[in-house]
Amino acid sequence: MIHKYDVYRSPNLGLFLRTNDDTLLLPFGFAETKAKKLTEYLDIKEIVHVSVAGTRLLGPMTVMNNNGILLPSTVSDDEIRIIKQTGLNVARLKSKYTAIGNLILANDKGAIVSNLFKGEVDQDIKDTLGVPLQSMSIGGFIQVGSMIVATNAGAIVHPKASDAEINSVSEILQVEAEPATVNGGSPFISSGIIANFSSVIVGNLTTGPELIMISRALRV
């Protein structure tokens, strides 16, 4: 299923939330009624309320699949303890880059990593997420985590991605990938989408044609 929603009166729900097939990360103080609705949409049972480096911007600050969660070097020990309640592998990346969710994305079959890292955190990513990885850019952008949304069913990529890049995404993540936009034309698709194998939630400005493209790409 695909659903339209907003968070903090914003269509950019991907900035504040992070999910896999079983667990939803929400900022502290998130409304209980909205949290319940999101768990129904995503068909998940576990919610973890947390901040990362003191911010509620969980999307840009985390990377998550069904095996593990990557966190920036600025995450606190208390925040790590909370996140470890998920039972997933948890790692603090030793990198100067903190908005790692904008630079890395993964499903349970592979990970795509920004060229910015130059291989410095490759082993930590592999060990934590349990997948092979490849470095690349998308449409001339190095922020690959902002340009791709992927589940174990499919992937969406920035509309300026070349055919060769789309093919590479498909090969790395082992799913079909298609270009799309969200929220009425935004190419930075991870800001406006959260998704797992069961469901997709998009910002409330997403148009009918975009809903069709996203549903087809993510197989919901």
pLDDT tens digit sequence for 41-99: 999 989 999 999 999 999 999 999 999 999 999 999 999 999 999 999 999 999 999 99
pTM of the entire predicted model: 0.95
CA pair distance 200, 2, nearest whole angstrom: 5
Percent residues over pLDDT 70 in the chain: 100
How many Cα neighbours within 13 Å face the side chain of 198? 13
In CATH terms, 2-218 corresponds, of 3.40.250.10, 3.30.56.10, 3.90.550.10, 3.75.10.10, to: 3.75.10.10
Residue written as tokens 């947390």?
A: 50
List, in order, residues 6 or more apart from 62 with CB less than 8 Å away: 18, 25, 52, 69, 70, 71, 100, 101
